[in-house]
Structure 1
Amino acid sequence: MARRLAAALTFIGILMLAGCGNDYGVDQNGQPIASQRLDKHWVVLNYWAEWCAPCRTEIPEFNALADQLKERNVGVFGVNFDHVQGEELKSASEKMGIRFTVLAQDPAEFFDIPRSEGLPVTYIIDTQGKVREQLLGEQTAAGVMAKLEALQALK
């Protein structure tokens, strides 16, 4: 009887884990990132660094884009290029004026994103987790929105 119970509990545990999405770690405030926020959604992923002047210029554009896209179920996320963590990430995000979610863990492996040597760089990822567009250089909310809408129309 105990063996059957253990086997049943193991099976249930496996089923529960199978339903979980990718582990995206935590955000700049140390809060867990639910996989439902990225998996099976369009994602705009912006890599930034404090030392990058164009990054500083485009952050307000991504803040505006994140606000615009809330109703459309598209996530705007940032990743610190220098991989800072914890309080340093929180502080850097605040200094940059970032209001959208910054991922402490780089999701490049989940989306098969090669490391870019230039900044800023932004990726548009479709609902299947496939990178559909790489945008090098400073972006505007209108420019990213237009590219996103064009890509979504192709689906």
Structure 2
Amino acid sequence: MLITLLLASCGDKPAEHAGVDQHGQPVAASRLQDQWLVINYWAIWCAPCRKEIPELNRLVQQLSGQAGVFAVNFDGKQGEALAKEANELGITFTVLAQDPANRFNLPRSTALPVTYLVDPSGKLRQTLLGEQTAAGILEHLASLQGDSP
């Protein structure tokens, strides 16, 4: 019976996480898989970022689950500092505390804001440099999805 219990407990795999969000809550890795992703890099000191955040908040509502929208702090802020800055900018969607650049082979931009559009297979499909609008990102996504095999 002890062997059966040990084998049963070994079969339970913990859920895979992609780090935590701005609230310290785990982000399921599945949220970064098998769907289109909009990954936006921002910083508190970036004036265009401040103007763009309301558009990204609007984008999340307009997509209503058709794609994942995530923010990443360019300066690598963590914990309370990340939460404070995300709150100050009014970000209402998930801010990834762990930079997903390696996961998706995203280049490091020297300018902000920058938004990456990643396809469901995890391939970077487009880099949008500078301030974006919800409508503009929706147009880019529609165009790219039309090109998808």
Q: How high is the TM-score relative to the length of structure 1?
A: 0.87
Within a 5 Å distance, the mapping from 1:15-94 to structure 2 comes to 16=13, 23-72=17-66, 74-94=67-87
Tell me the number of residue pairs that the alignment of Structure 1 and Structure 2 aligns. 148
CA–CA separation in structure 1 for the residues paired with 2:70 and 2:99: 11
In structure 1, C-alpha distance between the alignment counterparts of 2:4 and 2:86, rounded to whole Å? 50
Q: Given residue 23 of structure 2, which amino acid in structure 1 is its aligned partner? A: N
Give the structure with the higher percent strand: 2
Q: 1:112 maps to which residue?
A: 105
Identity of aligned residues (%): 53
Structure 1 alignment gaps of length 5 or more: none
Structure 2, gaps ≥5 residues long: none
Letter of the 2:146 partner, please give it.
A
- Change in Cα spacing, 1:128 to 1:119, as seen in structure 2 (3 Å) is same
Matched, 1:142 2:144: no
Which segments of structure 1 move beyond 4 Å, counting only runs of 4 or more?
1-6, 8-11
Per-residue CA deviation, residues 114-145 of structure 1 (Å, 9 max, x unaligned), is 21111000000010011000000010000000
Provide the aligned C-alpha RMSD in A.
1.9
Q: Deviations over 1:33-61 (max 9, x none)?
A: 01121111110000000000000010000
1:3-22 matches, cutoff 5 A: 8=7, 12=11, 16=13
**AA aligned opposite 1:135:** L
Whose helix proportion is higher, 1 or 2?
A: 1
SS in 1 for 2:44: coil
Q: Separation in 2 of the partners of 1:51 and 1:145?
A: 26
